[in-house]
Structure 1
Amino acid sequence: MKRIHVAAAVIRSADGLVLIAKRPLDKHQGGLWEFPGGKVEEGEAVEAALARELLEELGIGVTAARPLIQVRHDYPDKQVLLDVWEVTAFSGEPHGAEGQPLAWVAPAQLPDYAFPAANRPIIAAARLPDRYLITPDGNSPQQLLNGLARALDASIRLFQLRAPSLSRADYRALAADALAMCAGRAQLMLKGPLDWAADFPAAGWHLTAGQLRQHAGQGRPVPAEQWLAASCHDAEELAIATELGVDFVTLSPVLPTPTHPGARPLGWSRVAELLQGFNQPAFMLGGMTSVHLPDARQAGAQGVAAIRALWPEPA
């Protein structure tokens, strides 16, 4: 069965809302919501197909777009490749040119709408930023909170609270304070024993590679509404992450890094190969800075994750 190549768009308004459209009842997956777009014709460039479809469906001209994520999904009756681009600027006023209902939705509310199954990774990608800050070890709880405050002011919106040198009691107390600080402003990911996850329902949970392998075959360990991430280093771990239903991963090490001098870096070509068959958002980790964002996107990643490069030092 030939895989149908579809160009789709996460269209953002100036105030950050995302445009979605309802599928006609007489079409495949009719009545569900979708990200606008359509089929890529034989020999047609994806960006050209996207521009054509959005003009036909919504009456808008694309003026700024970049690749966001590719998703391969097999329905019982068809196989699709969703080639998703993020559109951040356009001309014209979007309207349902084919009579389809439209809605501008806050990213956090996207899970409240019924989408085809293939769209789940797109919803995650639409909700996630392009930078993932991992807190540095060796700081006191107060130093970490001060750094989080500076990072929030610098528009970082996704954090992993990593503090392996703290005691369990100190980490849990810090997590509660950090969650209060991030409320309404950013998503906080915690690490530690999975039985803690129920105590922090507003936090996401980031699995170590060891935890990932330990829970292989056991299904998603946290509720669907709670973010779940995992640290991955190879194709096997990416496959386990997919089976567990994670929402996103870090993939490392991409480049040489002083924190793991003995680790063999993957390099950009291997990263691109690994992500070719992976359907979830992925943050590149290891030697990354914001300068590497274009390289990460070119390889098919959501963005970059980093410790020192994203951690704002005191003025």
Structure 2
Amino acid sequence: MTKLIHVAAAVILNAQGQVLLARRPVDKHQGGLWEFPGGKVEPNEPVVDALARELDEELGIQISAARPLIQVPHHYPDKSVLLDVYEVDAFEGTPYGREGQPVEWVERSALADYAFPAANTPIVAAALLPSRLMITGAAANPVEYLDNLEQGIKRGAEGVMLRAKQLTDSDFLQLAAQFQSACRDRGVFLTLNSSIELANELKADALHLSSARLLALESRDQFSGRWLSASCHSAEELAKAEALGLDYVTLSPVAATRSHPDTPPMGWNTFQRLVAEVTLPVYALGGMEESTLPQAWDAGAQGVAAISAWWG
């Protein structure tokens, strides 16, 4: 069996929200490609210690604040790696290529323009996705929907999932168009929870599938937009999402919920175990609040998805 090389890596953010990238030397594995800085974790070395050491050696910076972002196991034809990725949003020093490697601050929106090793694909997704995903609840009319959207963003929601199953298709299309405009103006990530047909008709950038729609999906190419995600509740559904190349998922229920009181929650231990088996960002869903975000990060989550935490 090929030895798994444990690597600590960092998505480093500056005050402007830009991400620091480094270019791999041409004579190394995956040489010439861009990467998120980091290096090997030594045997019995804590990951955060390894990351601090590597960023000092490579960039001349000292970490002030970091939190887990994503773990990515990846198998190349000639080697296997486990990328243990942290988000670093506070540091001391001015980063530079201390080993002679080119480094560059990049706008998040430009990350797709850079060539990365294949193992970095989920990291790019995790770097682009929000931590706080608000799911819309019910509202009496479009004005109330938009008011609740505004209030949720003010309370800290960084992304929105428009879910309104009670609406007719025509009403949903009208409301979704209004949400698209409002979220675009505010720079907020928006995904639609709808059928593929409705999302394609709207030329939506992001679509979230129910677990039933995920299981019926044959190819991610059926959706014409950039981001495709799904609701998952089991290892089998997670495996299906990963096999089809989805960009991220929600996994639920982590804790007990008022909306599904008869559904037993999986708890954080099971959540963490299931997340460790996939290589895509996973949101914790079910009983989540702003206060549970640190616990979700520690369990390997991209962040939390919730209705009551921000809606209404």
Would you call these one fold, judging by a TM-score over 0.5? yes
Other-structure match for 1:79: 80
Aligned with 2:157: secondary structure?
Answer: coil
What does residue range 84-163 of structure 1 map to in structure 2 within 5 Å?
A: 84-163=85-164
**Counterpart check, 1:310 vs 2:281:** no
- C-alpha distance after superposition, 1:204-224 (max 9, x if no partner): 000100000001x5344334x
Residues 308 and 164 of structure 1, relative CA distance in 2, 3 Å threshold:
same
Letter in 2 for 1:207: L
Aligned with 2:25: secondary structure?
Answer: coil
**Counterpart check, 1:64 vs 2:56:** no
What does residue range 1-315 of structure 1 map to in structure 2 within 5 Å?
A: 1-184=2-185, 185-215=187-217, 217-223=218-224, 226-311=226-311, 313=312
* Equivalenced residues, count: 310
Aligned with 1:183: secondary structure?
Answer: helix
Partners of 1:202 and 1:183 in 2: how far apart? 12
Report if aligned partners of 1:137, 1:164 keep a CA contact under 8 Å in 2.
no
Partners of 2:262 and 2:145 in 1: how far apart? 27
- C-alpha distance after superposition, 1:38-65 (max 9, x if no partner): 0111111111110111011101111111
Aligned-residue offset at 1:278: 1.3
Report if aligned partners of 2:24, 2:34 keep a CA contact under 8 Å in 1.
yes
Partners of 1:231 and 1:28 in 2: how far apart? 36
- C-alpha distance after superposition, 1:241-298 (max 9, x if no partner): 1011111111000111110111111111110110111111111111110111111111
Report if aligned partners of 1:201, 1:226 keep a CA contact under 8 Å in 2.
no
Report if aligned partners of 1:3, 1:79 keep a CA contact under 8 Å in 2.
yes
Partners of 1:14 and 1:111 in 2: how far apart? 21
Report if aligned partners of 2:13, 2:88 keep a CA contact under 8 Å in 1.
yes
Aligned-residue offset at 1:139: 3.3
Aligned with 1:111: secondary structure?
Answer: helix
More divergent stretch after superposition (29-38 vs 154-163): 154-163
Report if aligned partners of 1:69, 1:83 keep a CA contact under 8 Å in 2.
yes
Partners of 1:131 and 1:289 in 2: how far apart? 9
RMSD: 1.3
Residues 139 and 245 of structure 1, relative CA distance in 2, 3 Å threshold:
farther
Residues 220 and 279 of structure 1, relative CA distance in 2, 3 Å threshold:
farther
Partners of 1:152 and 1:130 in 2: how far apart? 13
Aligned with 2:56: secondary structure?
Answer: helix
Partners of 1:220 and 1:131 in 2: how far apart? 27
Partners of 1:222 and 1:183 in 2: how far apart? 20
Identity %: 52
List alignment gaps of at least 5 residues for structure 1. Answer: none
Partners of 1:127 and 1:241 in 2: how far apart? 19
Letter in 2 for 1:65: A
Partners of 1:59 and 1:201 in 2: how far apart? 44
List alignment gaps of at least 5 residues for structure 2. Answer: none
Partners of 1:208 and 1:260 in 2: how far apart? 16
Aligned-residue offset at 1:151: 2.2
Aligned-residue offset at 1:171: 0.3
Aligned-residue offset at 1:196: 2.5
Aligned-residue offset at 1:202: 4.4
Aligned with 2:166: secondary structure?
Answer: coil
TM-score, length-normalised on structure 2?
A: 0.96
Aligned with 2:222: secondary structure?
Answer: coil
TM-score, length-normalised on structure 1?
A: 0.95
